[in-house]
C-alpha cells in the first residue's frame, strides 16, 4: 500500500518542513536552521527507501501513483483528461538520490547565511519539491508545473542570499529561463493539441506513428532542445548561468550547479530522446558539434578567468558539453556516459562550490590572485579541493573519469572525428583546473592567510560525503550503472526500433 | 602465489588508506608502516616471479566491473613474463626508496603525507604492470601520472615546484589523450579492451593496416608523454623539483619507464605496422642523442641525471623500434637499477650539502667514500663498461639496431653511447674529484646507514643484474621473455664481436675525454665553451624548446581565451542586453500612457475589447 | 415557461452591462463606480443563467457559477469599500480623479 504513495510522499515531504517553518519567528535563527536541515533529511530517507526497494532488474516505471486530476469536457469530441501520475525508473531514482543528497548538504552549507533565513529555507524546500517532482512527473503538465516550481523559488533564492550584483543575476536568470519555459510550454501545448494527451509514454507512442511530417517533429524537438538548452546550458545560451554561479550564495549554487542544470539533461533524455528519437538521430551530428563547442569554449574561457567561481562556472559549461556528446552518440555507452556525467558532475560541482564557499567565508574573496598557499593553513580543505578538481578533470578512480570515458567512447563509435576534436577538452580541462587550484592552494603561503582555520564541525560532513560518493562511483561504477541500466536499455531499444539501428 | 598476484598492489593501497587516515597521529613511524607494506608487496612479487619462471603459461583472473550495453568490461590481472619482471623491478625499487626516504625525509613534518603518496604511487604502478586490458592500463597510467604530480609538487610552497608539478601533469596528459583515443578506436573495432583480444584481431588481419598504424602511433604518443620523449620531454627535467627519492623512484626507475613498458606490452600491435615501428625508432633515436647533448652542459646534478634518463629512455624506444623487444626490456631493467642508484647517490650528496649545483661541489670523495664509490659504480654501469649491467643491455641494443639494418640509427646509438660516457664522468669528476669549490665543506658527512643500505643493494644489482642475459653465458632473460603469450616478439639478436669492441672503445673514449677535461684539466672546458658560444648557449638553454612552447601554445591559448572572453562578454551577453533593451523601451512607452487614472485604463480596455469583437465579427467566427 | 426567448435575456443583460460600464468609466464618486461594477457582474450573471437554460448543454452549471459570482462579488464589494474607507481616512476624499497612486 505504501508503495503506491511512496513517490507522492517523497515529492511533497519537504512541505512538512515548510509548514513547520511557518510557525517559527524569524528572529530564531538557530531554530530555523535546524528545521531547515532536518526537513531535508525526510526526503533523503524516503529516497533511500525508494532506492532499496526499487527493482533494478525491471525496465519500466515503478511505484507509479496515478489518480484522476483534471477532467473536463470541452466539446463532445474533445475531453481534457489529465491524470496526476508520478513514477520512477532507474534514471529517476539515480537523480532523486542525487537531489536529496545534494539538497541536504546544501542545507548544511546554508548555515553560512545570516539574514532572511525564514524565507530562504521555505523557498529552499519549495525548490526541492520542484526538483523531485520534475524527476518523477509522468506527464507534461506535471513536468511543466514542477519545472516552473524550481524557477521561481530559485529566482528569489538568488536575490535573497548572494553577493553584490545578485539582483542582476536573478533577473538575468529569470529572463533566460522565462523564455526557455515559454518555448517549452508552447511545444507542450502544440503536442497536446495535436495528440490529445500529455502522458509521456502515450506521446512517445503517438509520435512513433509514421504519418507525422518530419518538419513538424523536428520543429517540436528543436523547441525542446532550446528550452532545455537554456537550462543545460548550451553555448550560446549560457551567460545567465555564469552570473548565477558568481553572484548567488554558494549553498544556492550547489543546488543550481549540482541539480538544476541537470534538469536540462534529464529533459533532453526523457522528453527529447523519449518522444523524438528520430529527430535526435537526425540531428545527432549537430548535437555532437554543439557538445564539442561547449567543451572547448568553456575550457578556453575558464583558462583566462580571474575568479574561482567564474572558472568553475565555465567548467560547468564545458562539462555539460560532455552530456550532449553522450546523447549525440546514441548508443549504450554514450547514453550511459551522459547520465553518469549528469550525476557525477552534480556531485563534483556541489563539492567544488561548497569548498569555494568555505574559502570565501574565511577570506572574503574568491579571486585567484588574492589567494595562494592555502594548503599551509587549510591542508584538509586544500586536499579535498585538489581531489575534487582531479575528479572534475577525469582522473580514474573518481566518478568524472567514468562519465567522460563512456561519453567519449560512445562518440568514438558514432563520430570519431568530432570525438577526436573533443578530446582536446580533456587536456584543456587539466590546464585550466590546475591553474586555478594550484594558484589557490599551492605556492608560498601569504601572511594574511596563515591564520585560517581548516574545515571543522559541520563542514567536514559535505566534504566527506561528496568525496566518498565520487570515489565510490569511480571505483565501483556498477553501483550507478546497475541503477540506470534498465532505463538506458529501454531508451536504446526504442531508439533502435524506431530509427532502424 | 601466482593466483593471488592481485594482492600485490593491494598492500600499498592499504598502506595509503591507513596513512591518509592515521598519518597525522603516526608521524615518523608512518615511514615504517609504508616500508612494512611495501616489503609485503615485494615478497609477494618475488614469489610470483619465481613461480612464473617455472610456468610456461600466463596466469590471469578477471572480475566484472561495468556493463556497457552488451559489452561487459572487466578488471583483473595477468602475469606474463614481462609483467612478472616489472612487478619485481617496481616493488624492489619502491621498497628501497621507501627505506631510503626514512633517512632523506627525516624531520619533515609532512612525512606521513609523503609516504601516503609513495604508497599510492606504488599501488598504481603495480596495478599498471599487471593490467590485462587497455582500459585498466589507462586507469593506472593516469593514476601514476597524478601521483607523480603530487610528489613533484610535494614542496607545494615553492613556486618552482608548483610550476613543475603542473607542467608534469599537463604534458603527460597530452600524451594520455593519445592512449585514450587509441583505446576507444580499438574498442569499436575489436569489441573489447582485452589485450589478448586485440592481438588476436591483429593476427587474424581483422584490422585495417591504417587503423593499426594510427592506433599504434597514438599509443606511442602516450609513451612519448610518460617517458619524456621528444617533443614532450620538457616536463621530466623540471620534475626534479620533487624530493630526490621521488626522482629516483618515479622519474628514473619506474613511471617514466612505463612508456617503454607500454610499447613493449603492445609490441604485437606495433610490429604489425612498419610505419609505427619507424616512428618509435626515429623518435627514440633522436631523443637519445638530443637529450644526451643537453646533458653535456647542465650544472644541476639532478638535471644532468634527468636528461640522462630521457636519453636512456630514448635508447630503449630505439631498441623497441628496431624490433628489439628483449633489448628494450632488458635495458629497462638494468637502467632501473643503475639510474635509481645514481639518483639515490645524488640524493645523498644533496642531503649532505643542501645544494645541487655541481660547479659548487668537488672533492667529495674524501668525505663521502661510500657514496662516491656507489656513484662510480653507477657511472661505469651507465657508460657500458663490462662487467657492469649497463654494458650487456647497451650491447644488446646496439646489436639489435645493427641487425635491424638502419645504419643511421646505429651511428646515432653509438654516438649517444660516447656522449653518455662523457657527461656521466664529467658529473662524477666535477662532484667527487679534485678540490672542493665551496667553503662549508667541514660539516659534510656521510649519509646515515638507512640511506646507504638501499644504495648498496642497488649497487650490487647494477653490477650483477646484467648476467641474466649475456651472449657469453646464455640469454636466459630473453628466452624467458619471448615465451610470453603473444605469438611473436621479433627476432633475438645474436652476438657480433666487433660491435662489442666498438661499444667498449667508444665508452672508454668518452670517459677518457671527461677525465682530461674535468679531472686532469689538460683541456679547459671553459675555453671550449667560449670558443663555441652559440652551441654552448643553445645546449645550455635546452634548444629553447620551453621558450618555443611558451610563445606558441601557452600564449596562443591565453590569447584565444582573452579574445573569447571579450566575445562572451559583448556578443553573447549582447543578446541579453538586446532583450533587456527592447523590454525597457516598450516599458518607457507604456509608462507614458499610464497616468494613474483607473477610469482611463478602463476606457482603454473597453476600446480594446470593442476592437477585438469587431475583428472577431469581421473574421466571421473562430479563427480556424 | 419558454415563452421569453433567449434574446430578451441577452438584451437585458447587455443594457445592464452598458449602464454599469458607463457608470464605472465616467462617475467621479468611487462608491458609484463600485456599484456600477456590481451592475456589470449582475449582467454577466444573467447571461450565465440564460445560457444554462437555453445554451448548447443545458444544465445546472451556469446557475452554480452564478452563485459563486454573487458571493465573490459580495466579497469584492466588501474589500473595495474597505479600501475606499481607508483611502478616505488618509486623503479625505472619495473622488476618483484624485486617486492616481497607480502611476507612482
Across the interface, of B594, B599, B606, the residue whose CB is closest to C96 is B599
| Contacting subunits of B (3+ beta carbon pairs below 8 A) | A, C
Interface contact flag, C96 B602, Cβ < 8 Å: no
Banded pLDDT at B386 (limits 50, 70, 90): confident
pLDDT at res. A77? 67
Banded pLDDT at A75 (limits 50, 70, 90): low
B597 three-class SS = coil
Banded pLDDT at A125 (limits 50, 70, 90): very high
Q: Which residue in the block uniquely carries the three cell numbers 596466469?
A: B59
Give the residue with greater pLDDT, B491 vs B372: B372
Q: How far is Cα A243 from Cα A378, in angstroms, rounded to an integer?
A: 28
Among the residue ranges A277-281, A454-458, A464-468, B201-205, the one predicted with the least confidence is A454-458
The arithmetic mean of pLDDT across residues A411-437, rounded, is 89
Cell digits for B40?
Answer: 609485503
Interface contact flag, B597 C96, Cβ < 8 Å: yes
**Which chain B residues have a beta carbon less than 8 Å from that of C33?**
598-599
Portion of chain A with pLDDT greater than 70, in percent: 98
Q: Which residues contact A295 (CB under 8 A, 6 or more apart)?
A: A318, A319, A321, A322, A325, A422, A425
Phi, psi at residue C29, to the nearest 5°?
-85, 125
Task: Say yes or no to pLDDT of A181 above 90.
Answer: yes
Chosen from B587, B592, B598, B608 to mutate, greatest number of chain C CBs within 10 A: B598
Q: Which residue in the block uniquely carries the three cell numbers 549540482?
A: A258
Residues of chain C that touch chain B, judged by Cβ-Cβ distance less than 8 Å: 21, 24-26, 33, 96-97, 99-104
Q: How far is Cα B314 from Cα A309, in angstroms, rounded to an integer?
A: 43
Interface contact flag, B557 A300, Cβ < 8 Å: yes
Q: Which residue in the block uniquely carries the three cell numbers 526504442?
A: A494
Task: Say yes or no to pLDDT of A78 above 90.
Answer: no
Task: Say yes or no to pLDDT of B579 above 70.
Answer: yes
**Interval B19-40: pLDDT, tens:** 888 877 877 788 888 888 989 8
What number is the ipTM of this complex? 0.89
Banded pLDDT at B485 (limits 50, 70, 90): low
**Interval B310-319: pLDDT, tens:** 999 998 999 8
Interface contact flag, B560 A406, Cβ < 8 Å: no
Portion of chain B with pLDDT greater than 70, in percent: 97
Q: How far is Cα B312 from Cα B563, in angstroms, rounded to an integer?
A: 42
pLDDT at res. A130? 93
pLDDT at res. B487? 62
Cell digits for B559?
Answer: 590569447
Portion of chain B with pLDDT greater than 90, in percent: 6
Q: Which residues contact A332 (CB under 8 A, 6 or more apart)?
A: A410, A488, A489, A492, B68, B69, B70
**Interval B465-477: pLDDT, tens:** 888 887 777 777 7
Residue of B237, B228, B239 lying closest to B155 (CA atoms): B239
**Which chain C residues have a beta carbon less than 8 Å from that of B594?**
102-103
**Which chain B residues have a beta carbon less than 8 Å from that of A489?**
69
User: Which chain A residue shows the shortest CA-CA distance from B571?
Assistant: A236
Cell digits for A495?
Answer: 531508439
Banded pLDDT at B544 (limits 50, 70, 90): confident
**Which chain C residues have a beta carbon less than 8 Å from that of B606?**
21, 25
Q: Which residues contact B553 (CB under 8 A, 6 or more apart)?
A: none
> Around Cβ A466, how many Cβ atoms within 10 Å?
27
User: Which chain B residue shows the shortest CA-CA distance from A490?
Assistant: B69
> Around Cβ C2, how many Cβ atoms within 10 Å?
7
Across the interface, of A301, A332, A423, the residue whose CB is closest to B180 is A423
Give me the residues paired with residue B63 across strands.
B75
Q: How far is CA B139 from CA B78, B127, B498, B601, in A?
A: 16, 9, 45, 70
**Interval B136-182: pLDDT, tens:** 899 999 999 889 898 888 888 888 888 888 888 888 888 889 999 99
Are A158 and A139 in contact by the 8 Å Cβ rule? The answer is no
Contacts 24+ apart (CB under 8 A), C11-18: C12/C46, C13/C43, C13/C44, C13/C46, C13/C47, C13/C50, C14/C43, C16/C40, C16/C42, C16/C43, C16/C46, C17/C43, C17/C44
Are A131 and A99 in contact by the 8 Å Cβ rule? The answer is yes
Are B455 and B341 in contact by the 8 Å Cβ rule? The answer is yes
Across the interface, of B594, B596, B599, the residue whose CB is closest to C25 is B599
Q: How far is Cα B223 from Cα A348, in angstroms, rounded to an integer?
A: 30
Q: How far is Cα B71 from Cα B75, in angstroms, rounded to an integer?
A: 13
B71 three-class SS = strand
Count CA within 13 A, CB hemisphere, residue A244: 32
Interface contact flag, B596 C103, Cβ < 8 Å: yes
**Interval B408-450: pLDDT, tens:** 888 888 889 888 998 888 888 888 887 777 766 667 778 888 8
Are B428 and B371 in contact by the 8 Å Cβ rule? The answer is no
Residue of B334, B336, B342, B340 lying closest to B372 (CA atoms): B342
What is the pLDDT of chain B when averaged over all its residues? 84
pLDDT at res. B624? 47
Across the interface, of C21, C26, C100, the residue whose CB is closest to B595 is C100
B450 burial type by CB count under 10 A (0-12 exposed, 13-18 middle, 19+ buried): middle
Q: Are strands A62-75 and B59-68 parallel, antiparallel or unpaired?
A: unpaired
Instruction: Give the sign of the dihedral formed by CA B222, CA B227, CA B231, CA B234.
Output: positive
B153 lies within 8 A of chain A by CB = yes
Are A253 and A241 in contact by the 8 Å Cβ rule? The answer is no
Interface contact flag, B565 A304, Cβ < 8 Å: yes
pLDDT at res. B362? 75
Q: How far is Cα A347 from Cα A345, in angstroms, rounded to an integer?
A: 5
User: Which parts of chain C register pLDDT below 70?
Assistant: 1-2, 100-104
Longest CA–CA span in chain B (Å) reads 115
Banded pLDDT at A2 (limits 50, 70, 90): low
Q: What's the 3-state SS for B1-33?
A: CHHHCCHHHHHHHHHHHHHHHHHHHHHHHHHHH
B602 lies within 8 A of chain C by CB = yes
**Which chain A residues have a beta carbon less than 8 Å from that of B138?**
396
The arithmetic mean of pLDDT across residues A191-210, rounded, is 85
Q: How far is Cα B297 from Cα B307, in angstroms, rounded to an integer?
A: 11
**Interval A427-451: pLDDT, tens:** 889 889 988 888 888 878 777 777 7
pLDDT at res. C13? 93
Q: Which residue in the block uniquely carries the three cell numbers 570515458?
A: A405
pLDDT at res. A228? 92
- As a CATH number, domain C6-93 is 1.10.287.3510
Chosen from B127, B155, B214, B568 to mutate, greatest number of chain A CBs within 10 A: B568
Chosen from B9, B19, B21, B69 to mutate, greatest number of chain A CBs within 10 A: B69
The arithmetic mean of pLDDT across residues B334-359, rounded, is 86
Phi, psi at residue A79, to the nearest 5°?
-120, 135
| Contacting subunits of A (3+ beta carbon pairs below 8 A) | B
**Which chain B residues have a beta carbon less than 8 Å from that of A331?**
69
pLDDT at res. B440? 67
Q: What's the 3-state SS for A212-268?
A: CCHHHHHHHHHHHHHHHHHHCCCCCCCHHHHHHHHHECHHHHHHHHHHHHHHHHHHH
Count CA within 13 A, CB hemisphere, residue C8: 4
B598 lies within 8 A of chain C by CB = yes
Runs of H (alpha helix) within B366-522? 369-383, 389-404, 407-432, 449-464, 476-481, 497-514
Interface contact flag, A300 B564, Cβ < 8 Å: yes
Are B219 and B265 in contact by the 8 Å Cβ rule? The answer is no
Residue of B522, B253, B573, B289 lying closest to B408 (CA atoms): B289
Q: Which residue in the block uniquely carries the three cell numbers 614542496?
A: B155
pLDDT at res. C58? 80
Across the interface, of B156, B174, B176, the residue whose CB is closest to A442 is B156
Q: How far is Cα B246 from Cα A99, in angstroms, rounded to an integer?
A: 42
B540 burial type by CB count under 10 A (0-12 exposed, 13-18 middle, 19+ buried): middle
Interface of B with A in 252-281 (CB under 8 A): none
Cell digits for B121?
Answer: 604511487
Banded pLDDT at B603 (limits 50, 70, 90): confident
How big is the A-B interface in CB pairs under 8 Å?
136
The arithmetic mean of pLDDT across residues B365-379, rounded, is 85
Amino acid at each position: 500500500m505504501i508503495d503506491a504513495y511512496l513517490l507522492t510522499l517523497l515529492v511533497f515531504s519537504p512541505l512538512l518542513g515548510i509548514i513547520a517553518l511557518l510557525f517559527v519567528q524569524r528572529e530564531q535563527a538557530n531554530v530555523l536552521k535546524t528545521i531547515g536541515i532536518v526537513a531535508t533529511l525526510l526526503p533523503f530517507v524516503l529516497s533511500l527507501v525508494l532506492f532499496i526497494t526499487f527493482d533494478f532488474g525491471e525496465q519500466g516505471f515503478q511505484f507509479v501513483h496515478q489518480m484522476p486530476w483534471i477532467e473536463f469536457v470541452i466539446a463532445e469530441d474533445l475531453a481534457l483528461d489529465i491524470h496526476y501520475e508520478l513514477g520512477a525508473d532507474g534514471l529517476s531514482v539515480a537523480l532523486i538520490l542525487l537531489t536529496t543528497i545534494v539538497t541536504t548538504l546544501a542545507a548544511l552549507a546554508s548555515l553560512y547565511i545570516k539574514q532572511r533565513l525564514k524565507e530562504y529555507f521555505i523557498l529552499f524546500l519549495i525548490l526541492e519539491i520542484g526538483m523531485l517532482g520534475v524527476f518523477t512527473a509522468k506527464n507534461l503538465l506535471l513536468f511543466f508545473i514542477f519545472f516552473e516550481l524550481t524557477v521561481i523559488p530559485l529566482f528569489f533564492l538568488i536575490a535573497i542570499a548572494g553577493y553584490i550584483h545578485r539582483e542582476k543575476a536573478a533577473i538575468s536568470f529569470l529572463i533566460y529561463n522565462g523564455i526557455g519555459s515559454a518555448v517549452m510550454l508552447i511545444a507542450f501545448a502544440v503536442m497536446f493539441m495535436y495528440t490529445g494527451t500529455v502522458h509521456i509514454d502515450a506521446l512517445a507512442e503517438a509520435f512513433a506513428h509514421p504519418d507525422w511530417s518530419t518538419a513538424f517533429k523536428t520543429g517540436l524537438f528543436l523547441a525542446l532542445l532550446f528550452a532545455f538548452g537554456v537550462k543545460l546550458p548550451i553555448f550560446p545560451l549560457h551567460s545567465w548561468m555564469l552570473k548565477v554561479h558568481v553572484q548567488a550564495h554558494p549553498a544556492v549554487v550547489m543546488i543550481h550547479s549540482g541539480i538544476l542544470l541537470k534538469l536540462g539533461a534529464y529533459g533532453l533524455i526523457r522528453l527529447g530522446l523519449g518522444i523524438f528519437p528520430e529527430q535526435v538521430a537526425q540531428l545527432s551530428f549537430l548535437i555532437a558539434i554543439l557538445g564539442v563547442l561547449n567543451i572547448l569554449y568553456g575550457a578556453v574561457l575558464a583558462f583566462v578567468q580571474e575568479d574561482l567561481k567564474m572558472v568553475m562556472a565555465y567548467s560547468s559549461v564545458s562539462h555539460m558539453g560532455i552530456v550532449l556528446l553522450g546523447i549525440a552518440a546514441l548508443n549504450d555507452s554514450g547514453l550511459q556516459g551522459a547520465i553518469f556525467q549528469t550525476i557525477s558532475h552534480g556531485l563534483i560541482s556541489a563539492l567544488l562550490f561548497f569548498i569555494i564557499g568555505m574559502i570565501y567565508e574565511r577570506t572574503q574573496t574568491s579571486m585567484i590572485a588574492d589567494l595562494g598557499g592555502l594548503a599551509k593553513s587549510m591542508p584538509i580543505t586544500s586536499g579535498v579541493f585538489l581531489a575534487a578538481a582531479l575528479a572534475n578533470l577525469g582522473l580514474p578512480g573518481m566518478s568524472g573519469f567514468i562519465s567522460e570515458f563512456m561519453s567519449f567512447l560512445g562518440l568514438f563509435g558514432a563520430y570519431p572525428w568530432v570525438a577526436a576534436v573533443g578530446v582536446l577538452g580533456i587536456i584543456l580541462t587539466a590546464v585550466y583546473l590546475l591553474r586555478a587550484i594550484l594558484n589557490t592552494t599551492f605556492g608560498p603561503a601569504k601572511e594574511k592567510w596563515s591564520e585560517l582555520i581548516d574545515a571543522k564541525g559541520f563542514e567536514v560532513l559535505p566534504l566527506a560525503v561528496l568525496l566518498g560518493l565520487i570515489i565510490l562511483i569511480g571505483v565501483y561504477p556498477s553501483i550507478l550503472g546497475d541503477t540506470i541500466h534498465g532505463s538506458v536499455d529501454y531508451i536504446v531499444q526504442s531508439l533502435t526500433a524506431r530509427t532502424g539501428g | 602465489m601466482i593466483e593471488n598476484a592481485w594482492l600485490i598492489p593491494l598492500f600499498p593501497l592499504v598502506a595509503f588508506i591507513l596513512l591518509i587516515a592515521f598519518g597525522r597521529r603516526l608521524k615518523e613511524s608512518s615511514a615504517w608502516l609504508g616500508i612494512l607494506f611495501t616489503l609485503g608487496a615485494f615478497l609477494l612479487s618475488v614469489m610470483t616471479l619465481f613461480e612464473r619462471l617455472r610456468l610456461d603459461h600466463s596466469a590471469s583472473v578477471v572480475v566484472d566491473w561495468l556493463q556497457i550495453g552488451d559489452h561487459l568490461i572487466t578488471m583483473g590481472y595477468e602475469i606474463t613474463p614481462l609483467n612478472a619482471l616489472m612487478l619485481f623491478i617496481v616493488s624492489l625499487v619502491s621498497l628501497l626508496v621507501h627505506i631510503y626516504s626514512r633517512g632523506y625525509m627525516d624531520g619533515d613534518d609532512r612525512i606521513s603525507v609523503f609516504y601516503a603518496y609513495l604508497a599510492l604511487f606504488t599501488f598504481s604502478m603495480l596495478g599498471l604492470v599487471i593490467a590485462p586490458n587497455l582500459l585498466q592500463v589507462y586507469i593506472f597510467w593516469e593514476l601514476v601520472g597524478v601521483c607523480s604530480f603530487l610528489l613533484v609538487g610535494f614542496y607545494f610552497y615553492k613556486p618552482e615546484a608548483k610550476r613543475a608539478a603542473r607542467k608534469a601533469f599537463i604534458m603527460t596528459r597530452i600524451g594520455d589523450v593519445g592512449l585514450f583515443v587509441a583505446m576507444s578506436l580499438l574498442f569499436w573495432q575489436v569489441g573489447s579492451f582485452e589485450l589478448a583480444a586485440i592481438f588476436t584481431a591483429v593476427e587474424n588481419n581483422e584490422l585495417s593496416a591504417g587503423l593499426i598504424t594510427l592506433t599504434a602511433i597514438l599509443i606511442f604518443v602516450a609513451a612519448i608523454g610518460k617517458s619524456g620523449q621528444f617533443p614532450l620531454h620538457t616536463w621530466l627535467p623540471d620534475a626534479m623539483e620533487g624530493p630526490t627519492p621521488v626522482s629516483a623512484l618515479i622519474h628514473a626507475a619506474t613511471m617514466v619507464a612505463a612508456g617503454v613498458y607500454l610499447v613493449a606490452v603492445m609490441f604485437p600491435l606495433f610490429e604489425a605496422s612498419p610505419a609505427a615501428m619507424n616512428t618509435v625508432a626515429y623518435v627514440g633515436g633522436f631523443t637519445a642523442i638530443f637529450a644526451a647533448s643537453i646533458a653535456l652542459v647542465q650544472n644541476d646534478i639532478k638535471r644532468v641525471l634527468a636528461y640522462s634518463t630521457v636519453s636512456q629512455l630514448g635508447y630503449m624506444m630505439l631498441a623497441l623500434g628496431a624490433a628489439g623487444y628483449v633489448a628494450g626490456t632488458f635495458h629497462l631493467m638494468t637502467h632501473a637499477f643503475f639510474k635509481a642508484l645514481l639518483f639515490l647517490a645524488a640524493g645523498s650528496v644533496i642531503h649532505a650539502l643542501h645544494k645541487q649545483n655541481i660547479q659548487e661541489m668537488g672533492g667529495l670523495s674524501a668525505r663521502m667514500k661510500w657514496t662516491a664509490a656507489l656513484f662510480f659504480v653507477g657511472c661505469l654501469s651507465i657508460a657500458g663498461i663490462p662487467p657492469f649491467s649497463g654494458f650487456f643491455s647497451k650491447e644488446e641494443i646496439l646489436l639489435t639496431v645493427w641487425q635491424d639494418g638502419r645504419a643511421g640509427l646505429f651511428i646515432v646509438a653509438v654516438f649517444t653511447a660516447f656522449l653518455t660516457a662523457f657527461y656521466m664522468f664529467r658529473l662524477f669528476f666535477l662532484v667527487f674529484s679534485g678540490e672542493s669549490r665551496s667553503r662549508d665543506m667541514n660539516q659534510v658527512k656521510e649519509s646515515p646507514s638507512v640511506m646507504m643500505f638501499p644504495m648498496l643493494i642497488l649497487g650490487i644489482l647494477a653490477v650483477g643484474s646484467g648476467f641474466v642475459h649475456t651472449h657469453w653465458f646464455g640469454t636466459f632473460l630473453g628466452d624467458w621473455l619471448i615465451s610470453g603469450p603473444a605469438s611473436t616478439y621479433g627476432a633475438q639478436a645474436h652476438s657480433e664481436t666487433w660491435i662489442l669492441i666498438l661499444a667498449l672503445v667508444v665508452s672508454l673514449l668518452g670517459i677518457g675525454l671527461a677525465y682530461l677535461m674535468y679531472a686532469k684539466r689538460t683541456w679547459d672546458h671553459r675555453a671550449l665553451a667560449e670558443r663555441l658560444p652559440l652551441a654552448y648557449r643553445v645546449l645550455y638553454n635546452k634548444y629553447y624548446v620551453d621558450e618555443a612552447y611558451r610563445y606558441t601554445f601557452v600564449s596562443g591559448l591565453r590569447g584565444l581565451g582573452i579574445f573569447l572572453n571579450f566575445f562572451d562578454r559583448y556578443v553573447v551577453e549582447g543578446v541579453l542586453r538586446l532583450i533587456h533593451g527592447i523590454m525597457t523601451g516598450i516599458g518607457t512607452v507604456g509608462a507614458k500612457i499610464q497616468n494613474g487614472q483607473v477610469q482611463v485604463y478602463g476606457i482603454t480596455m473597453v476600446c480594446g475589447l470593442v476592437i477585438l469583437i469587431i475583428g472577431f465579427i469581421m473574421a466571421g467566427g473562430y479563427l480556424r | 415557461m419558454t415563452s421569453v426567448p433567449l434574446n430578451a435575456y441577452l438584451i437585458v443583460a447587455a443594457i445592464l452591462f452598458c449602464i454599469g460600464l458607463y457608470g464605472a468609466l465616467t462617475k467621479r464618486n468611487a462608491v458609484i463606480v463600485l456599484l456600477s461594477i456590481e451592475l456589470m457582474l449582475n449582467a454577466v450573471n444573467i447571461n450565465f443563467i440564460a445560457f444554462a437554460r437555453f445554451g448548447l448543454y443545458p444544465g445546472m452549471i451556469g446557475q452554480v457559477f452564478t452563485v459563486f459570482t454573487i458571493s465573490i462579488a459580495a466579497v469584492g464589494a466588501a474589500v473595495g469599500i474597505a479600501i475606499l474607507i481607508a483611502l478616505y481616512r488618509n486623503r479625505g476624499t472619495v473622488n476618483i480623479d484624485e486617486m492616481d497612486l497607480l502611476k507612482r
